[in-house]
Structure 1
Amino acid sequence: MQDLLVVHGGTPLQGSVRVRGAKNLISKAMVATVLGNSPSTLHDVPRIRDVEIVRGLLELHGVRVSDGATHGEMIFDPANVERAHVDEINVHAGSSRIPILLTGPLLHRLGHAFIPDLGGCNIGGRPIDFHLAALREFGAQVDKTAGGLDISAPNGLHGIKFALDYPSVGATEQILLTAVLAKGVTELSNAAVEPEIIDLICVLQKMGAIIKVHANRVIEIHGVETLGGYVHRPIPDRIEAASWASAALATGGDVMVEGARQADMMTFLNTFRSIGGMYEVDDSPVGGGIRFWHPGGDLRATVLETDVHPGFMTDWQQPLVVALTQASGMSIVHETVYEKRFGYTAALNQMGANIQVYQECLGGTPCRWGRRGFAHSAVIAGPTKLIAAELVIPDLRAGFSHLIAALAAAGTSTVHGVDLINRGYEDFEAKLAALGARAERG
């Protein structure tokens, strides 16, 4: 089957979809199983490519992974963790950034870890300098090889006092996964506090870790001797929920996102309402979620800046920008997390949008990209009629944005590279069909 989707646009999305566990938590919770001395069970795991990749990495290292009795249940037995062959690990190089997070758990279990050259979406620099600096502080020795990094801990790992220059999610996860079994106390300042980070702390606490979250982004971890397994149901995927919400708004539709949780999406919900979208929260334990719809009339332009939590999430802006092309007036979006996040706007302009990108900081949030030549601010003038086009998906979140644009556009679009969307969106084609979208494989 070809890696393309033919999308017949112009039909409002109507109906219900369900989101499962958050992609940005699931993979980290899977890594955490290596730390335990007994099996772990993870519920509500989505069938996405990233899960398959991490499962493969764990199995290469001797973790026995099996599907549970219920849909979305996975069981992990780490009893036989072992050193994987470099060539086998390299099979995954370029397809995931998860291997670096295996370092701490593998150092605790084996005293050694090999990390291949890392991949991931090309949306800007995601340096591992924070990771390596922290690992060295913990007592790790890092040696560069032709295929990646050879990391060892000849004298074990000990607690550290570490301050991040930027509240990096990945670096915070690295320190959490390493500190829980390190000797002594670790204090991390300027830590990321995203909902997925807090949920990872919940996972580790279930395993027996002692982790205190203080004010002002300070996390204190007391190393323990051993950790056990866990049973955990993760928070729902707030990125996927916002993506379907944006699709409902862009197409003039009405979508119930089952499983979406208000507490994780407060900043998005405020923006969604401010531009004219409507939503309704259903807190029912079964079938609950958030209904998103376009009430008719004109949408309103807005000014927003992406930021670390509790700010407006960087992965929310791409789908929402498609809806903003239909808003009356001039919207401004200032991206402060990734410097190359606006590459997808060229395709939207090809479809009739009026989006200009600028190197200047069009906002007041402190930004790391000023005067460095990155086009990290966008001005969207609207409303503009979108017309069908031939599109090539560049990365996961931009890919879903292109898909939304194709659904909103008049005519038939051909979207290439749609398999990339499977990295983070479970059964997205089946969900599109459930919402009445007219799309088929080319």
Structure 2
Amino acid sequence: MKSNLKAHIQGGQTPSGKVRVSGAKNASTRLLSAALIADETVTLNNFPTELVDARYKMDFIEKCGGKVTVDEKLESVTVNPAEYKDIELGDYNYPIRTTYLLVAGLIKRSGIARIPYPGGCKIGDRGYDLHMMVWQQLGATVTEKPDYIEVSAPNGFQPGEINFPISTIGGTENALISASIVDGETIIKNAYISPEVDSLIQFLRTLGAKIDVVGNSFIRVVGAKYLRGSIFQVMPDRIEAITWIVYGIISGGRITVEDVPFDTMEIPLIHLKHMGIDLYRNDKNVIVSPECLTNGQIQPFELACGTHPGIISDMQPFYTMLGLHANGKSRIFDYRYPERLKYCGELNKFYDNALTWTPGAITVEGGKGITGADAQSTDLRGSMAVVIAGLLAQGNSTIHNVEMALRGYNNMEQKLRNLGVTITVE
């Protein structure tokens, strides 16, 4: 993936057409890593094959001997992990955050894993100490080398108990995958079971791991030495779905959003209703048009981001966009990731300083005009909000480092073209 890409956007384009939600980024990249612990071939359908983070992970897998076959037309990925093993690479510079999920497959076959330090979004402190704890609790030795993290377990991971000091999605995913190769029982406490983690649990069960969940934070895993193959469907991306829904609302366009995972979005959609937005939907699709606004305007609101089933932090920028187009002052709180604010400064370039913020709190003055601007990408979802601002603005805009937004949206440019909207990326 190229870096320092620029998006040149002619503002004022009104979208019209259909857009299908792709397989979830936060599920597909985890399933790709989990496939590496299987002893047979794994096929993942509805896979977002053009997703930048997935391509980086595939590159690492293939350099370590694994085989990945991608079918863009069928949107499927087939993984043959038979030769996936630890190989010291010349370059460990991978700008993806979930490199820690690559460890279990290497430990299974080599007893040692050398993986890139987690990269990814610049949204505050997201260290890897909890992942080190997972490996250590399963009997491994962890060494931080200058270019990579080395995890050593010559006899494989051993049964253990993992008690997270805070709820963590990434830590839970790592613990689940690692525990599935243990010939014995592992207990995971204070786990965080999001829809994407639940999908991972379902997948690991198809491989042969025995996983019991009590409530929403206690997991018992009985792994196995031999794990069979699987054909598995990647769930639709709830964050992409809310992105297109919000874009349709604030653009005044007419969009049909297909394959919306309504069962994972109940509370986020309730908040839209409280804003005076009445969506027309069936079991899988939603139609967004100006008629969705009950009295022609988005009503101001106050909400807090947090854990599922509420509005998660990855959705925060799109509710900020709704606030910018609402009829009054709105407030958004996020104490889980209180520093997730860099994108606000970029949006202010378009919206005449309509946003003010302190750690964990954003105040939005709705109803201000929007003009084109020269802006920077920040974190992944915030960058998409900045792209949307450019599409809505009067005049032309340039978004620097737009590859950050491309990381999270499968075939984003083509999907915009399907809506009659064009941007130029170079």
Q: Secondary structure at the match of 1:232?
A: strand
The structural deviation recorded for 1:189 is: 1.7
The structural deviation recorded for 1:125 is: 1.0
Moved more, 289-298 or 114-123: 289-298
The structural deviation recorded for 1:211 is: 0.6
CA change 1:440–1:151 in 2 (3 A) is closer
CA change 1:45–1:334 in 2 (3 A) is same
Alignment-derived partner of residue 161 in structure 2: 161
**Residue 84 (1) aligns with residue 87 (2):** yes
1:322-348 deviation per Cα after TM superposition (whole angstroms, max 9, x unaligned): 121111222111112323211111122
Alignment-derived partner of residue 400 in structure 1: 384
Alignment-derived partner of residue 368 in structure 1: none
Alignment-derived partner of residue 141 in structure 1: 141
Residues in 2 aligned to 1:381 and 1:67: alpha-carbon distance in whole angstroms: 45
Q: Secondary structure at the match of 1:86?
A: coil
- Listed as ranges, the matches of 1:18-57 within 5 Å are 18-46=20-48, 47-57=50-60
Alignment-derived partner of residue 211 in structure 2: 211
Matched residue type, 2:349: Q
Matched residue type, 1:239: I
Contact 2:93/2:116 (8 A) holds in 1: no
Q: Secondary structure at the match of 1:71?
A: coil
Q: TM-score, normalised by structure 1?
A: 0.90
Q: Secondary structure at the match of 1:54?
A: helix
Q: Secondary structure at the match of 1:334?
A: strand
Alignment-derived partner of residue 7 in structure 2: 5
Residues in 2 aligned to 1:220 and 1:293: alpha-carbon distance in whole angstroms: 46
CA change 1:137–1:225 in 2 (3 A) is same
Q: TM-score, normalised by structure 2?
A: 0.94
Q: Secondary structure at the match of 1:299?
A: coil
1:177-217 deviation per Cα after TM superposition (whole angstroms, max 9, x unaligned): 01112132112122111110010111111111101111142
1:435 to 395, 419, 423: 419
CA change 1:276–1:69 in 2 (3 A) is closer
Moved more, 232-241 or 270-279: 270-279
Alignment-derived partner of residue 261 in structure 1: 261
Moved more, 388-397 or 66-75: 66-75
Residues in 2 aligned to 1:157 and 1:294: alpha-carbon distance in whole angstroms: 56
Q: Secondary structure at the match of 2:149?
A: strand
Matched residue type, 2:32: M
Alignment-derived partner of residue 313 in structure 2: 314
The structural deviation recorded for 1:54 is: 1.0
Residues in 1 aligned to 2:233 and 2:370: alpha-carbon distance in whole angstroms: 40
RMSD: 1.8
Q: Which runs of 5+ in 1 are unaligned?
A: 359-374
Alignment-derived partner of residue 240 in structure 1: 240
Contact 1:387/1:409 (8 A) holds in 2: yes
Residues in 2 aligned to 1:196 and 1:422: alpha-carbon distance in whole angstroms: 20
Matched residue type, 1:12: T
The structural deviation recorded for 1:155 is: 4.0
Residues in 1 aligned to 2:129 and 2:332: alpha-carbon distance in whole angstroms: 28
The structural deviation recorded for 1:10 is: 2.5
Residues in 1 aligned to 2:134 and 2:84: alpha-carbon distance in whole angstroms: 24
Alignment-derived partner of residue 62 in structure 1: 65
**Residue 150 (1) aligns with residue 150 (2):** yes
Residues in 1 aligned to 2:258 and 2:107: alpha-carbon distance in whole angstroms: 39
1:326-374 deviation per Cα after TM superposition (whole angstroms, max 9, x unaligned): 112221111123232111111222222511102xxxxxxxxxxxxxxxx
The structural deviation recorded for 1:173 is: 0.4
- Listed as ranges, the matches of 1:10-409 within 5 Å are 10-46=12-48, 47-68=50-71, 70-88=73-91, 90-92=92-94, 95-283=95-283, 288-295=284-291, 296=293, 297-351=296-350, 352-358=352-358, 375-409=359-393
Residues in 2 aligned to 1:399 and 1:293: alpha-carbon distance in whole angstroms: 24
Matched residue type, 2:318: P
1:114-165 deviation per Cα after TM superposition (whole angstroms, max 9, x unaligned): 1222211100111111111121011000122221221101343222222222
Residues in 1 aligned to 2:261 and 2:228: alpha-carbon distance in whole angstroms: 29
The structural deviation recorded for 1:376 is: 2.0
1:59-107 deviation per Cα after TM superposition (whole angstroms, max 9, x unaligned): 122111113495211111111122222324x142xx1122211112221
Alignment-derived partner of residue 403 in structure 2: 419
1:387-421 deviation per Cα after TM superposition (whole angstroms, max 9, x unaligned): 11111212321111001111222222122222322
Alignment-derived partner of residue 364 in structure 1: none
Residues in 2 aligned to 1:332 and 1:306: alpha-carbon distance in whole angstroms: 11
Calculate percent identity across the aligned residue pairs: 29
Matched residue type, 1:401: A
Number of residues paired by the alignment? Answer: 419
